[in-house]
């Protein structure tokens, strides 16, 4: 996921979008979780950290995670057989964080269970 440029003096969150693809050889329920849950997602640049969330909807009302701390996993009860499924996800970096200029990054583990 790539975020747009963060503006430290604006009161609007900074948005990002990404996608993940998976394919199944059988139509079995799929559950996808992230190790990054509410208030633990941090983009790093040196000693500076930016809080952010990964969401399952563009308005970020459903935070993607492992089901803890108010997050929800992605769930597909019946995926198509041998066809790619695209999961679009959305991010937001909270506004009004006092951040140093630079490139920020994070690594998030994704677990797919079927």
Can you give the residue ranges of every domain in the chain?
A: 13-98+108-113
pLDDT tens digits along 71-108: 999 999 999 999 999 999 999 999 999 999 999 999 99
Q: What is the pLDDT of residue 36?
A: 83
C-alpha to C-alpha distances, 16 to 13, 25, 60, 113, nearest whole angstrom: 10, 31, 11, 25
Cα distance between residue 37 and residue 47, in whole Å: 21
User: What are the φ/ψ torsions at residue 56 (nearest 5 degrees)?
Assistant: -95, -5
Q: What's the mean pLDDT in 41-59? A: 94
Q: What's the mean pLDDT in 41-67? A: 94
Task: State the chain's mean pLDDT as an integer.
Answer: 93
């Amino acid at each position: 996921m790539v975020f747009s440029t963060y503006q430290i003096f604006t009161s609007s969150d900074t948005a990002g979008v990404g996608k993940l693809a998976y394919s199944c050889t059988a139509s079995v329920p799929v559950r996808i979780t992230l190790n990054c849950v509410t208030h633990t997602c941090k983009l790093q640049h040196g000693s500076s950290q930016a809080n952010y969330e990964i969401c399952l909807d563009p308005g970020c009302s459903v935070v993607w995670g492992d089901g803890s701390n108010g997050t929800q996993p992605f769930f597909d009860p019946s995926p198509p057989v041998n066809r790619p499924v695209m999961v679009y996800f959305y991010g937001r970096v909270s506004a009004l964080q006092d951040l140093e200029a630079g490139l920020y990054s994070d690594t998030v583990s994704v677990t797919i269970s079927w």
